[in-house]
Every structure is written in C-alpha cells, then in structure tokens.
Amino acid sequence: MGQTISEKILAKASGNKDVCAGDFVDAEIDLAMSHDNTFLVSTIFNEIGVKNIWNPDKIVIVLDHRTPANTIKTAENHKRIRKFVKKQNITHLFDVGEGVCHQILPEKGFVSPGMLIVGSDSHTTTYGAVGAFGTGIGATDMAAVWITGKVWFKVPETLRFNVSGKLSRYVSAKDVILHIIGKIGVDGATYKACEFYGNVIENMSIDGRLCVSNQAMEMGTKAAIIPPDKKTVDYVTSKTNVKFNVVSSDEDATYEKTYDFDVSDIEPQIACPDKVDNVKPVSDIVGTEIHQAVLGSCTNGRLDDLAAAAEILKGKTISKNVRMIVVPASRLIYLAAVEHGYIQTFVNAGATIVNPGCGPCLGLHQGVLAEGECAISSTNRNFKGRMGSPDAQIYLGSPATVAASALKGKITDPRGVIE
C-alpha cells in the first residue's frame, strides 16, 4: 500500500519502514522552534531538573511576538530567555527586530523537504510549504523535546486538495486558502494532514505557498504540505547547503478524502467576524467602514505581499479615517522593500511602518483596536478580542484587499481601484 508524504516522514523519523494513519510513533525531531514563550518552556525544563538540552544546534529561538518589549514583564521574560540561551549554548537566537519565526526559519535555511519540525506555535504548519512536516506542540511537550529530542505522534489521516483554474488579477494565495477554509470549516481538517496539488498551487510563488500552509492551520490541520517541485528545490538550495531528499506521496497513497476546487471565478475573499470560516466574496462586504488596516504577519508580510499592496497605493493617499500599519515579516524583507521603493510608497501614502515581528496580529501592542472599531487585516485570525477590544470587529483579506480598503476607508474590491 502506498504512503502519503506525512506517513513517509513520520516513518523515517520513528525508524519504521512504513506507518499507517492511526499508528502511534515515537519520532526523532529534526528541528524545534520556540518564540517568546521560550520563557515558559525553559521554566518547565528547569523544573524537570535536567541540566542540558539534547542538541543546541537543533533548537531555534525567535523573539517576535512582543518585540520590542511592550511591558516590564515582557522585558524580564526576554532577559530570562537570553540568559537561558547563553547557558545552554543554543546557537540560533534571533532577537528583537529579526522577524517572525515562521519567516525566519525558511528564510535562514533551517527548513528543507522531508524534515520533521515542531514549534511551540500553532502556525508551525507554515513549513509544509517547502515539503516539511511542521506542526505545533505545547510548552510541556516542547520541554520534553529539548530533553529527549523526541515526541510521540498519532499518524494523521491525509486530505488531498486539488486546486485548479486561473486566478483573476488581485486574487491571490490568501483568497484561495480562505475560500477553501470557508468550504471545509474551521474543524474540517482537525488532526488531518493536508496535501495541496493542482496548477494553481504549482503556479504560486514560495511566498504564496507559505501563505497557504500557514493559513491552513485555521481549518485544524496537523500539517499542511505542498509537494516539493523544482521551485521548492531552487528556493531551499538558495538558502542552505544542507543535503535533503524530496519526499513525495506514492501514486497509490490512501487519502481519507479528496477535495477538488476550481478557483477560476472566485472573487477576493473576506473572512468576516468572528470566525475564519465565515468567508464571503468581497462583493458581499463592500462598503463596510474600517478604522484600521493591517498589512503583514506570518501569513502575508512577505515581499510579494508588500509588492501587491504598494502597486495599489503608489502615488495615492490612504483615507484620513484609516490607520494603516505595515509589518514586514523579517529584516531582510524590510530591506528588500526599501530597495524596491515599497516602504517609501507606504510612508507617502500615510501608512505607519513598524518593526518586523508579529505586531498587532495578537492584539498586545503596535495597533490595538478600541471598542466599536473595525479592522481589515492580512493576518490569520479574526477571533473576538484577537486584536484588542472584544467589541471590535476583524475582517481578514489579502494584501491587495487590505491596501484597497485603506485607500477608500471601507472594505473595497482591489480589482476596481486600478484601471
């Protein structure tokens, strides 16, 4: 019987010739990532009483959620993290201003096809964009990984998504995955691995694929894998000299279910309050007044995203009633955006640029929403209270939709703002 990508990766990591969905395996981890919650993981680690972590070269720490420190408590936690990293000789610490963890890892060459990666963040599924099995785990499990280098898994069933068609202008990867989530539901892939195929996926840039694998977490997926192709190999080899083997599903692999989507005719998609699967075409929401527009995050803060927004805003000024916040996903993306003139375009349009990081996505600083306010954001969650007041409303859309809406002061179809 053939195997899926997830089954092959988990079989290799657990030392088995093959595994089947439903099997329990004890798997060796290739890479473990933590961010600001490292202070919690390190506390649990110290309470267990083990002196040294299993492999300091296989741990990556990225400070990105509350950076620069937004409170004294955060500053103290960051201080504890830096002290722990130094004591344990962890070689890979990316401190304040370097960027969002889910951008940093692939960008810096830590992620390759076939790897088994865990992160103390749910959107670790992002790494499936380059053919890795990436998944989130809790702080206690992460502490155990730091000690043993292993964690147990129940091998997930796999869902196959075939996405075909030709996207209209300003309909992007974000719109595709929101459309899918709207049809599948927030629990439609709970503890399932997902594999994405079809010409639409194949034609996406790596930036677009990273968006798909990241946002797919919002339908409950355990891993969101895009089978590696030449585009993947070229990207990964440009970032690292580490050798890797591409893992592909067998032709006779067993999928729990196969979904076919033709996205040729979809409009830009909007996830409406307060659930990510409350997805509607932009034409149903056009005209909704907004107070804040956020461009960035681990979902849509990459160069392709900034380019799409800058094209719409170039030579224009955003609405006087809108605060637009731009958050590049990493320092390198920030620098590239400066070189391409995107940052100047945003500043001239009236936007505020904040440092690379998670910024306003999690509602702790750099753009908290007040009671009764409405935001459109390229981030990945619109839960009640996610970006500030529980009485604020959050709509999710693509970078192009965010930019067009900032321009008009209301939710706007980006296809109508440029002739």
pLDDT in the model for residue 93: 97
The CA-CA-CA angle for residues 100, 168, 413, to 5°, reads 75
Domains 5-261 and 270-412 share a fold: yes
pLDDT in the model for residue 364: 85
Task: Give residue limits of the domains in the chain.
Answer: 5-261, 270-412
What does the block give as tokens for 372? 């009764």
Q: Does domain 5-261 have CATH number 1.10.3720.10?
A: no
pLDDT in the model for residue 419: 60
Cα–Cα separations (whole angstroms), residue 345 to 174, 311, 338? 22, 9, 9
- Spelled out in words, what is the top-level CATH class assigned to the domain 270-412? alpha beta
Q: How far apart are CA 214 and CA 124, in angstroms?
A: 7
- Report the SS3 class of residue 150: strand
From first to last of its 419 residues, the chain has per-residue pLDDT tens of 799 999 999 999 999 999 999 999 999 999 999 999 998 999 999 999 999 999 999 999 999 898 999 999 999 999 999 999 999 999 999 999 999 999 999 999 999 999 999 999 999 999 999 999 999 999 999 999 999 999 999 999 999 999 999 999 999 999 999 999 999 999 999 999 999 999 999 999 999 999 999 999 999 999 999 999 999 999 999 999 999 999 999 999 999 999 999 999 999 999 999 999 999 999 999 999 999 999 999 999 999 999 999 999 999 999 999 999 999 999 999 999 999 999 999 999 999 999 999 988 888 889 999 999 999 999 999 999 999 999 999 999 999 999 999 999 999 999 988 76
Q: How far apart are CA 333 and CA 231, in angstroms?
A: 19
Q: How far apart are CA 186 and CA 63, in angstroms?
A: 28
Per residue in 71-128, pLDDT (tens digit) is 999 999 999 999 999 999 999 999 999 999 999 999 999 999 999 999 999 999 999 9
The CA-CA-CA angle for residues 131, 136, 142, to 5°, reads 120
Q: How far apart are CA 289 and CA 45, in angstroms?
A: 48
Handedness of CA 118, 357, 328, 291 (dihedral sign): positive
DSSP 118: E
In single-letter form, the type of residue at position 62 comes to V
Sheet holding 92-94, edge to edge: 92-94, 59-62, 31-34, 116-119, 133-136
